[in-house]
Structure 1
Amino acid sequence: MGVETEAERGYQDAIRHVTRALEHRRHKLEESDPDEFAGGAEERRARMDEIDHLLEVIRTLKR
């Protein structure tokens, strides 16, 4: 692979930032008390599943 263009670097940077933010959010959810959510543990699990799905989509963008 050749030298990255400025646009490619910016794209990869954006992917890294979004990935880090989502991973941070997921970690906070893991540490949170399920009672903090109206739907309890089920709602917390659903939110973590949504984040997992977004992370999976982002991984496909890196290819």
Structure 2
Amino acid sequence: MTHKELQSYRNRFEEIKKSDEPIRTRKLASLMSDLELSYNIPVFAMAVYEKNNPEVMALYREVSNARTF
């Protein structure tokens, strides 16, 4: 993970937040999937992964919390 890659995901998140529903939530779900694949985020939260990747997990949680159900 590089800072530049993570910043790219952050920028994408900021653009998605400007979208209207229901497209916004679909794009957020897609972003979460991309983060999971790019950073090998485990399906079940693992304390070790979170400790070693705090910036990734902070963004992942922020994206997750921005979704509307």
Q: Same fold (TM over 0.5)?
A: no
Larger radius of gyration: 1
TM-score of the superposed pair, with normalisation by structure 2? 0.40
Q: Name the structure where helix makes up a greater proportion of residues.
A: 1
